[in-house]
Structure 1
Amino acid sequence: MSISRGVASPCRRRRPEHPAKREIAIPDETVAHTSKDDALGPAWWTEDSERWDLLQFEAAHDAAGLPLDPWWKDRRDVLDALILSPGPVDHDFARFLLEQETRFHRHCWGFSHTIETAALLLAEHRRPDDIWHLWQAITTSFDTWCGLPHQLLLAGGGTTLTVAYVAGSGHEQEDNLLGHLQELAQVTDDDVTTLIAERRRYYTDTLRELDDAQEHDDDR
């Protein structure tokens, strides 16, 4: 398994490709990149939600025919930094990041590891009502359907509690989601906890390896 720096089709393999070596840099208030040592920590973003505009997907950019959401790399760096930090992160911020990644993937072909890390950060909160945001992310495209772990839908308490919540929700997507949940293998809350921990550990280990490799190259 490997992570993708860009947006690549995942359906020939379950996970995206390995990224090029990079520093994890987070934008400051002028959207200027900093070095890894000077990067703003995750707490900076949660101090003021107005700063989140720096990471917002701009559909107009895509409509103009430009190849990449201009803030996608900044969002990627923020998500990488957050997955390397002890969780869970601020719930509203996690939901915002997944919404932006969902919007980005709706306008782009392929799959990036960023939408999975955003989904993991939200799923860590284990809130039943987050299932609608996770469902929207999964159903965004063929690629997100193939690339995202569907068991994250059960983060609100495993199969039994999740099905009961959705069945009583009255949500417009209730029937569609219930039909899909019934097709998934039954899992317990502990099973979902294990999945989230394993996927988070995978990304943490991979990003640290990339940092170590970058530092080794810089010392040459």
Structure 2
Amino acid sequence: MTTTLDHWRDHPERWGELAHHAAREAVLRLLLRDRRDTDAGFLRYLLDQEIRLHDDDEGYADSLGLAALLLNECGEAGDVWQLSEAKYTSFDTSCGLDAFLLFPGGVAATLGYVERSDHPDREEVAADLRDHLAHDPGLEHERPARLAGMRAYFSA
């Protein structure tokens, strides 16, 4: 497997080579050191592959959390749908993925985006986001530190 991001970036025709979990995890580790906002499409693909892995298998692998973190860091509120799918793929993923990752555009922007959307899961996701905020009122303020802590965890 090629271990440079240049091989993968902007080459979606090669992404299928990352079907094996170990190869995908290696690329996610590279992206941890050199993630760019322009990697969002690639990260969506990688997170989708992690969702598929976790949908077929019980348990929780850190690779799912890493993919969710990296996509969250791109800062696009529209990624809330995929991040929500990742969190609720299974009981294990719902416990393993932190709820603050469901706010990729920030708390207010993500919640507003969901509430204004016409997505079929809008009501369910909006209620879930509001529930997380009700149980974790410091989320808005603490989100940057939590992201940094999660990044530090994966960097260790």
Q: Same fold (TM over 0.5)?
A: yes
Corresponding position of 2:6: 43
Q: Hey, what does 1:161 align to over in structure 2?
A: 109
- Shift, 1:174, TM fit: 0.8
Letter in 1 for 2:127: G
CA shift for structure 1 position 163: 1.7
Structure 2: 5+ residue stretches without partners: none
Instruction: Note if 1:92 corresponds to 2:38.
Output: no
Hey, what does 2:25 align to over in structure 1? 76
Q: Relative contact order: is structure 1 or structure 2 higher (C-alpha 8 Å, sep ≥ 6)?
A: 1
After the TM superposition, list the runs of 4 or more consecutive aligned residues in structure 1 that deviate by more than 4 angstroms: none
Q: Counterpart of 1:171?
A: 119
- In the alignment, structure 1 segments of 5+ residues that lack a partner are 1-26, 29-39, 57-70, 206-220
Deviation at 1:192, TM superposition (A): 2.2
**Percent of pairs with identical residues:** 33
Supply the distance in 1 between the matched residues of 2:10 and 2:130 (Cα, whole angstroms): 40
Matched, 1:194 2:145: yes
Is the 8 Å Cα contact of residues 167 and 174 (structure 1) preserved in structure 2?
Answer: yes
In the alignment of these two chains, the number of paired residues is 151
> What is the Cα deviation at residue 81 of structure 1?
2.3
Q: CA deviation at 1:76?
A: 1.5
TM-score (norm 1): 0.65
Query: What is the CA deviation profile of residues 120-167 of structure 1, one whole-angstrom value per residue up to 9, with x for unaligned ones?
Result: 110011100000010000010000000001111112122x22221111
**Mapping 1:107-186, distance limit 5 Å:** 107-158=56-107, 160-184=108-132, 185-186=136-137
2: CA distance, partners of 1:42 / 1:117: 16
